[in-house]
Each structure stands twice: as C-alpha cells, then as structure tokens.
Amino acid sequence: MSTIQKTAQRTTVLEPEPQTNYPTAIVRQREGNSIPAPELDALKQALVQEQRAVVIQKASAEKARRSTSCLQAFARTLLQSLNQPCFQINREGKVVLWNTGMILWTDIGDQEAIGKEITQLLPTFLSTPLLNTIREASTQAEALTHAEEITPTHETLSNDDDFESVAYTAIPLLKVPGCVEGCVILLDIV
C-alpha cells in the first residue's frame, strides 16, 4: 500500500468540517467507494505540492533566522569595537550589550551589567530619559508602515549636582515593522 493510499485511509477517520469542500476522492473513500486513478493522481500531486510548499517555507524561515543571526553578530562586533561608550537595552530597559567604552566610563564590567536594568547602572538624570526614549520609539513604531523609518533621538542631559553633561543618541531597533526590540545608545561625555 502506497503512502498516498495510507494517507487517504487515515483521512477517513477524520470528521468532516461543515464548511470544508473535500476533494471528491476523499469523499468517495469515506463512503466506501474506491478512488479512480485520475483522482488518486490529482490527490498525489496536491500532496506533493503541499510538501514542497512546507519545505520551501521551512527553508525560508531558516534563511531568515540565519540572516538575522548574522546581522546581530555584526552589530554586536561593531558596537564592541567602538571606543565611544555605547550599550544596548531591550524594551524592558535591561542591558543586552555593554561595550568597553561603558566599562571604562562606569567601572562596571560587561558581565555585571548585562541583564540588569539601566536604572541600576546609570544615574537617574540619564537612565530615566533613556527609558522614555524606548517608550516613545515603541509608540512611534506601532504607527509605522514599511516605507517609514524610526528616527534616532539626540539629546544632551545635564546633572546639576556635579555639572556633568552627557549627549546621547538612541537608535531604536526594530524586530519587525511596528515592534521595537530595544535601543542602541551612543554616549558622548561632555
């Protein structure tokens, strides 16, 4: 007995859904009639096409996953190679990447920083606006179409207690259109 015939027999166990129009070959099999060769061939071709579509879909998903993985590795390498302090935070405000410039500026190691909320690592005058930037980018991303872009945010913040100023550029990272994954923050200590 061929695989197609076994599949056709297995479909006889299923209860038909009221709105579904099954191929006549399956209906006849359910009624106990034998399936004519032309209809069996058509059923085989439909099954082969469906299997091809599944294989193509899996291959496309794997290609997209690899592409995304390569882009993430490139971005990570690029950010790590910068001398300028920069880091990446996710939507929840937790650190995903902490480069050497941040280690030198804060004296906090990357292993210690990754996974912590930005409010635990940076002064309030800097961390609060950065979290607001992510919220604003998320709101802006929800209204995006494929043709539009999210613009980076540039701002200079000052701490009145010690006269320290920090200019930052926040670049939102889109996972898919309409969904912000996080932000890359580039700092310029003034």
Structural domain contains residue 77: no
Q: What is the structure's pLDDT at 113?
A: 93
Four-residue CA torsion sign, 24, 30, 31, 34:
positive
Q: What is the structure's pLDDT at 81?
A: 85
The reply to whether 86 and 49 lie within a common domain is no
Structural domain contains residue 35: yes
Residue 122: CB atoms within 10 Å? 22
Per-run averaged pLDDT (10 residues), the chain, 190 residues: 53 46 52 66 84 85 74 80 88 88 90 92 85 78 63 77 77 71 81
Q: What is the structure's pLDDT at 46?
A: 85
The reply to whether 169 and 121 lie within a common domain is yes
The reply to whether 111 and 150 lie within a common domain is yes
Answer whether 80's CB lies under 8 Å from 92's CB: no
Number of domains forming the structure of the chain: 2
The reply to whether 99 and 35 lie within a common domain is no
Query: In terms of DSSP H, where are the helices of 12-84?
Result: 24-30, 37-81
Answer whether 127's CB lies under 8 Å from 157's CB: no
Q: What is the structure's pLDDT at 34?
A: 63
- Nearest 10 degrees: CA dihedral of 99, 95, 110, 83? 10
The reply to whether 175 and 140 lie within a common domain is yes
The reply to whether 88 and 177 lie within a common domain is yes
- Give the HSE-up count for residue 182: Cα atoms under 13 Å, Cβ half-sphere: 15
- Give the HSE-up count for residue 73: Cα atoms under 13 Å, Cβ half-sphere: 6
The reply to whether 90 and 173 lie within a common domain is yes
Structural domain contains residue 75: no
Q: What is the structure's pLDDT at 98?
A: 93
Q: What is the structure's pLDDT at 16?
A: 44
CATH number, domain containing residue 88: 3.30.450.20
The reply to whether 87 and 118 lie within a common domain is yes
Q: Which of 97, 94, 95 shows the shortest CA–CA distance to 79?
A: 97
The reply to whether 97 and 181 lie within a common domain is yes
Whole domain around residue 30: which residue ranges? 3-59
The reply to whether 39 and 92 lie within a common domain is no
Exposure class string for 66-92: b at 16+ Cβ within 10 A, else e: eeeeeeeeeeeeebeeeeebbbbbbbe
The reply to whether 11 and 93 lie within a common domain is no
